[in-house]
Amino acid sequence: MNIEDAVTAVTADANTLTSCLGQPVIAYHVTAIMREADREHARQMQLALMRRSIEALVDDGLEDAAAERFASQFHGRLGLAWRLLHAADGVAH
């Protein structure tokens, strides 16, 4: 898996989020996370994006619980893609 494939995999089902934050914003943050080789720093970046995502979804009219569920699923896809991408590097995480 390369970074472009990882970004595509993560954002494929994120239409709700991209509609309120914008595709370029999401792609920028996901790409930055994918490029981060340090697992803990990548995790912190993911958490920050998840918080921002929840806020944006709620501001866009989604209920808190629904926004948290959506962001959690997005966060899971993001973490999985990061692990797959960096497992290919042969680096122990």
In a domain, 45, yes or no: yes
Q: Write out pLDDT tens, residues 22-55.
A: 888 998 999 999 999 999 999 999 999 999 999 9
Predicted pLDDT at 88 = 67
Q: Write out pLDDT tens, residues 3-25.
A: 888 888 888 878 888 888 888 89
Question: d(Cα 12, Cα 78) in Å, to the nearest integer?
Answer: 11
In a domain, 92, yes or no: no
pLDDT surpasses 90 at 81: yes
**70 in Cβ contact with 22 (< 8 Å):** no
In a domain, 93, yes or no: no
Q: Domain range for residue 73?
A: 3-87
Question: Please, which residues have CB within 8 angstroms of residue 83's CB and are 6 or more apart in sequence?
Answer: 93
Domain count, the chain: 1
In a domain, 52, yes or no: yes
In a domain, 73, yes or no: yes
